[in-house]
Structure 1
Amino acid sequence: MASTLRVLPGIARTRPVLWGCPASWSTSSMTLAEQAWQLFECAVSAVMPGPMIRRVLTVDPETGQMKVRDRNFQLHHNVYLAGFGKAVLGMAAVAEELLNDHLVQGVISVPKGIQAAMESAGLKEMLLMPHSHIQVFEGAKNNLPDRDSLQAAVAIQDMAEGLTADDLLLVLISGGGSALLPAPIPPVTLEEKHLLTKMLAVRGATIQELNTIRKALSHLKGGGLARAAYPAQVVSLILSDVVGDPLDVIASGPTVASDHNVQDCLQILTRYDLRGTLPRSVKTVLSRADSDPRGPPCCGHVLNTIIGSNSVALAEAQRRAEGLGYQSLVLSTVVQGEVGRLSRFYGLLAQTAIVRLSSQAVTTKKEEDELQKLAEELQLTDLKLGDVMKVLEQAKGPICLLAGGEPVVRVHGSGKGGRNQELALRVGMEMSGCSGSNWEALFLSGGTDGQDGPTEAAGAWVTPGLTSEAASEGLDVASFLANSDSNTFFQRLQGGIHLLSTGLTGTNVMDIHLILLRPF
């Protein structure tokens, strides 16, 4: 398969980095950073859109029957396609190939520049065929709604509203869908909605809270697209980018009835001290929301199906880590919480692991109690700390600890960064106490979409030597963190070799975190 990942400077100069996990990798001379990079690559390759679509959707060309898992739909040149999200271009390419001439029309909203990126990478399977029936809108640069994505939303709404009971609307949804399907309810403007969302985000609002507000102010979110398409049948294929895969939260649930009301919105706005500064237009829409004459969305005509998630990516990374000789364990698939507290958890876990691995010493109850307290605070409900400690006690060789999810970062300055780069930088500081042992350690945090915040990096990797390396180059880690400027820090440190520079990947299932521990 052609390359889509740009090689990390100073790490893998001698070989191309490919999507996929070749069985022929040589591990004898690989650095820890190379191994971490390849595990991240494997995680992303497992959730590429084409194979996931093919696993759940088939079309019998002779009978004209479309099968989605165990449900059958009779086609007769009556299929319309709508899509929005970072993985939708590849999803749509495969869907059009399978549907063939049953597809009448399609409209998709995808990130700015993704077609050129896929073409440049030679990924023809991620591109629509010539003379496609699908109209492509590119927008939402830096994952922010804009006029281009608004134009796409209008086109999707117009198409949906023209459907009849004889039609079928195939909806393709992936992460980034909220920014790529903005349809604010007048008199709310796109700019007002974006500003309110941004103010919530910088205060640390969760994705669930952000989407509750978005749905209340949108024509198409919160079941609005399903309502627009009625009475046509609607089939949604969804690539999840939300912890726990809640259908009503992914891309703000355009084909799922919302169970939130105005009071939920007001509580969120009060929590983040924004209720008193709302624009008049937002107050107007919220005041009439519960008495909306359109009524609640009717979603009985909809089939919603999750086709891929962060768990799939983690499982593949775990499988490959074991192939590289690591004893591997998935810590959690529901990582949320604030980056500052999460970095303390990962840093303390790495320190605890090295103590046990290097000297077989038993960690103190105080350390284990703090880890447990942090796990509860971060709501890592699937983490079994006892199992982690047992793995460390019985370890016979290198260890790989994996996790996935989507934490939040509080922006404190005017710098440039993203949650993955800031998390890595903070973990690097926390891991400084791990130096001096006979074990190597590395932490990596990367976004599977290849875009961490408004930067060109997907994330970063760090080792316990980070702070000393920074000091030798005159870089003060604390100053960069105080200005939320993690990207600038990593750009300046050793020529940027710690950055994960993948480019847009064409998929999105949140973030991958990994800790590698290997004896010298």
Structure 2
Amino acid sequence: MNELLRQHAREIFAAGLRAVDPIAAIQRHVRRDGAVLTVGSTRYDLHAYRHIYVIGGGKAGASMAQAIEEILGDRITAGWVNVKYAHLAPTHIIALHEAGHPVPDREGAHGVRQMIAMIGQATAEDLVICLISGGGSALLPAPAEGISLEEKQAVTSLLLRCGATIHEMNAIRKHISAIKGGQLARIVAPATMISLILSDVIGDPLDTIASGPTVPDTFTFADCLSMFERFHLLEQLPRSVRDHVMRGARGEIAETPKPGDPLFDRTQNLIIASNIQAAQAAADQARSLGYHALILSSSIAGETRVVANVHAAILKEIVQSGNPLPRPACIVSGGETTVTIQGNGLGGRNQEFALSAALDIAGLPGVVVLSAGTDGTDGPTDAAGAVADGETVTRAKRQGLEPGAFLTNNDSYHFFDALGDLVKTGPTHTNVMDLRILLANAA
């Protein structure tokens, strides 16, 4: 095996993670000087506010809450943030509440009710700080009237299985929710709101991250209906959801608030970290290790296997012709791909990427591919991703493993587990999508 390359790939990935640490990100963007709080370039006089409440949800919620407590201390009146199970950290004022992800559960719904009870009576003399990070859509479930949590869970499961993009999933979530798509801003008004956002969505669109609870919504009920039709889900949807979306498309239910709505005049939304920052740090680390480094893109999307094929082709080109980089070379890419599930195995998009790439680079000497999620969780597994090289297929076959069969069954987890090639980080308390590291050693 290419042990040094594998070690370097892990070091490069770790550097990307450090760059998007939520505590450091908040400290870069939020500063307090006595009674003046500066968020980005906006200044707030803390003397103007009677109460400061902290709410939010996401995989990075615990670390973000820690950072805000360090800055504001006992100036915080109260706080409640929903986090994924086992993603806790010590806080003193802000309550951290564990809930389900990626399928929302009753604990998540309970947490949202607690938040609404806290901020529902906020006045123009109050300040609400909202902490949003990847996973916020699932961790902030508040079904619209007439829709049960179980029905919302069923819709989420259907969307996950059909290969819907994060943009499509969140557009639908907003329209079957009571708080997403800018509706949380309705509840907070007339209080001032600051929303600090860790982006886990390609292009960092504010209305898609965590389904945009604090920003105007650009999607409509008609868009949601069109998506359901395209994925052939109308007949599989719970009746309450289908009826709700159809009524909305006919104009019988109020739309989510749109751009230009004055309720957003007292709301600041600020992205504090994103995938490109992780990719840049990874590339810098690669250069420090002696590699020529190139960021391919931080906006990679599409079917995982197809994306893996393209990345493998680039790696082959580097070995064969020295393009687009001379060796030793490092290609970094970010974004989030999708897997259309056809088998009944266990895995995630990063493990499937690594397995598909392994088949394409089989026999190629001096190369390594690592793909992992920055949140430390890839699909419904305890791994962040996996690492593969030109010898992976040969090693697998020596153990009686047929890589193609595992790929067909979407069983990349058990394939890499048998080889000892899973990447396991545990909860990272951040989430800015995925990083892929491609390395080729010196010629």
TM-score by length of 1: 0.81
- Equivalent residue for 1:269? 228
The answer to whether 1:232 aligns with 2:191 is yes
Residues of 1 paired with 2:193 and 2:298: CA distance? 29
- Equivalent residue for 2:423? 500
- Equivalent residue for 2:339? 409
- Equivalent residue for 1:121? none
Residue 283 (structure 1) shift? 2.3
Q: Which amino acid letter does the alignment assign opposite residue 253 of structure 2? A: D
Residue 294 (structure 1) shift? 8.1
SS at match of 1:402: strand
The answer to whether 1:335 aligns with 2:300 is yes
Residue 239 (structure 1) shift? 0.6
Aligned partner (choices 121, 127, 134) of residue 168 of structure 1:
127
Contact map agreement 2:234 2:242 (CA 8 A) in 1:
no
Q: For residues 295 and 93 of structure 1, do their structure 2 counterparts lie closer, same or farther at Cα, with a shift above 3 Å needed?
A: closer
Residue 346 (structure 1) shift? 1.1
- Equivalent residue for 1:348? 313
- Equivalent residue for 1:5? none
Residues of 2 paired with 1:296 and 1:205: CA distance? 24
- Equivalent residue for 1:280? 239
- Equivalent residue for 2:253? 292
Residue 293 (structure 1) shift? 5.0
- Equivalent residue for 1:190? 149
1:261-320 CA-to-partner distances (Å, cap 9, x unmatched) read 111001100111011232211123223434435873632221000100001111111111
- Equivalent residue for 1:20? none
Contact map agreement 2:384 2:425 (CA 8 A) in 1:
yes
SS at match of 2:441: strand
Contact map agreement 2:179 2:213 (CA 8 A) in 1:
yes
The answer to whether 1:244 aligns with 2:203 is yes
Contact map agreement 2:145 2:178 (CA 8 A) in 1:
no
Alignment of 1:314-463 (within 5 A): 314-357=279-322, 389=323, 391-392=324-325, 395=326, 397-432=327-362, 434-435=364-365, 440-463=366-389
Residues of 2 paired with 1:42 and 1:71: CA distance? 30
- Equivalent residue for 2:393? 467
Residue 236 (structure 1) shift? 0.4
Contact map agreement 1:82 1:169 (CA 8 A) in 2:
yes
Contact map agreement 1:81 1:107 (CA 8 A) in 2:
yes
Aligned partner (choices 131, 138, 145) of residue 98 of structure 2:
138
- Equivalent residue for 1:43? 16
Contact map agreement 1:351 1:433 (CA 8 A) in 2:
no
Q: For residues 398 and 68 of structure 1, do their structure 2 counterparts lie closer, same or farther at Cα, with a shift above 3 Å needed?
A: same
- Equivalent residue for 2:405? 479
Residues of 1 paired with 2:306 and 2:264: CA distance? 39
Contact map agreement 2:225 2:246 (CA 8 A) in 1:
no
The answer to whether 1:308 aligns with 2:273 is yes
Q: RMSD of the alignment, in Å? A: 1.6
Contact map agreement 2:300 2:336 (CA 8 A) in 1:
yes
Aligned partner (choices 177, 180, 184) of residue 218 of structure 1:
177
Q: Structure 2: state its 5+ residue gaps.
A: none
SS at match of 1:276: coil
Residues of 1 paired with 2:37 and 2:305: CA distance? 47
Residues of 2 paired with 1:210 and 1:136: CA distance? 26
Residue 335 (structure 1) shift? 0.4
SS at match of 1:277: coil
The answer to whether 1:72 aligns with 2:33 is no
Contact map agreement 2:220 2:255 (CA 8 A) in 1:
no
- Equivalent residue for 1:517? 440
132-141 or 402-411: which moved more? 132-141
1:373-394 CA-to-partner distances (Å, cap 9, x unmatched) read xxxxxxxxxxxxxxxx3x43xx
Q: Which amino acid letter does the alignment assign opposite residue 167 of structure 1? A: D
Task: Report the number of matched residues.
Answer: 435
Q: Which amino acid letter does the alignment assign opposite residue 165 of structure 1? A: A
SS at match of 1:460: strand
SS at match of 1:432: coil
TM-score by length of 2: 0.95
1:360-416 CA-to-partner distances (Å, cap 9, x unmatched) read xxxxxxxxxxxxxxxxxxxxxxxxxxxxx3x43xx2x41001000000011112211
50-59 or 281-290: which moved more? 281-290
Q: Which amino acid letter does the alignment assign opposite residue 35 of structure 1? A: H
Contact map agreement 2:363 2:391 (CA 8 A) in 1:
no
- Equivalent residue for 1:127? 90
Q: Structure 1: state its 5+ residue gaps.
A: 1-9, 12-29, 116-125, 358-388
Residues of 2 paired with 1:98 and 1:519: CA distance? 47
